[in-house]
Amino acid sequence: MFWRALPDSGFGQKGKECKGGKRSKQRITVAFFVNAAGGKEKPIVIWTSANPRCLKRFDKSVLPVNYYDQKKAWMTGDIMESVLTKLISRLVHRQRSILLLMDNAKCHPSNLESKLTNIKIIFLPANTTSKLQPLDLGIIQNFKVHYKHFLLRYVLTKIDECQSAFEVAKSINILIAIRWVAQAWAMVTGETIAKCFKKAGVLNSELEIVSCSIEDDPFAEADLVSLMKDVVPNCCSPEEYVNGEDSLPICNDLDSLTWEEDFMHQLLQEDRSEESDEGEEEDTAQLTVSRVKTYKDAIVALEDVQTFLDSRGHLEDSAKLGIAVDSLATLHIASMKQKTLYDFFCKEQ
Name the strand (E) or helix (H) holding 34.
none
Residue 106 has pLDDT above 50, yes or no: yes
Report if residue 72 sits inside a domain.
yes
Residue 305 has pLDDT above 80, yes or no: yes
Q: Which of 180, 209, 243 is the last residue of a domain?
A: 243
Residues 321 and 200 in one domain: no
* R_g of the chain, CA atoms, integer Å: 23
Q: Which of 88-92, 203-207, 259-263 has the highest mean pLDDT?
A: 88-92
Report if residue 147 sits inside a domain.
yes
Of the candidates 38, 40, 46, the residue with the CA atom closest to the CA atom of residue 68: 46
Q: Which of 212, 243, 274 is the last residue of a domain?
A: 243
Average pLDDT of span 47-76: 91
- Using an 8 Å Cβ cutoff, are 88 and 115 in contact? no
Give the N- to C-terminal CA distance of the chain in Å, as an integer: 55
CA distance 154 to 150: 6
154-to-150, 204, 227 alpha-carbon distances in Å: 6, 41, 11
Residues 113 and 195 in one domain: yes
Residues 15 and 148 in one domain: yes
Q: Which of 224, 243, 262 is the last residue of a domain?
A: 243
Residues 210 and 327 in one domain: no
Q: Give the count of alpha carbons within 13 A of 140, CB side only.
A: 19
Q: Which residues contact 65 (CB under 8 A, 6 or more apart)?
A: 42, 43, 44, 45, 178, 181, 182
Report if residue 285 sits inside a domain.
no
Report if residue 254 sits inside a domain.
no
Task: Report the alpha-carbon angle 11-13-19, nearest 5.
Answer: 115
Average pLDDT of span 114-133: 87
Lowest average pLDDT, out of 114-123, 210-219, 224-233, 313-322, goes to 210-219
- Using an 8 Å Cβ cutoff, are 248 and 1 in contact? yes
DSSP strand E in 119-191: where?
Answer: 119-123
Residues 191 and 308 in one domain: no
146-to-173, 187, 224, 343 alpha-carbon distances in Å: 18, 7, 9, 47
Residues 39 and 107 in one domain: yes
Structural domain for 191, as ranges: 11-243
Residues 60 and 203 in one domain: yes
- Using an 8 Å Cβ cutoff, are 126 and 99 in contact? no
Percentage of the chain beyond pLDDT 70 is: 75
Residues 325 and 212 in one domain: no
Report if residue 261 sits inside a domain.
no
188-200 per-position pLDDT tens digit: 999 999 999 998 8
Residues 299 and 236 in one domain: no
Residues 18 and 83 in one domain: yes
Q: Which residues contact 72 (CB under 8 A, 6 or more apart)?
A: 20, 24, 48, 252
For residue 211, what pLDDT band results from cuts at 50, 70 and 90?
very low
Percentage of the chain beyond pLDDT 90 is: 38
Report if residue 343 sits inside a domain.
yes
Total count of domains within the chain: 2
CA distance 254 to 263: 7
Report if residue 263 sits inside a domain.
no
Residues 233 and 329 in one domain: no
State the Cα torsion 238-241-246-249 to the nearest 10°. 180
Which one-letter amino acid corresponds to residue 209?
A: I
Q: What's the chain's average pLDDT? A: 80
Report if residue 250 sits inside a domain.
no
Residues 226 and 300 in one domain: no
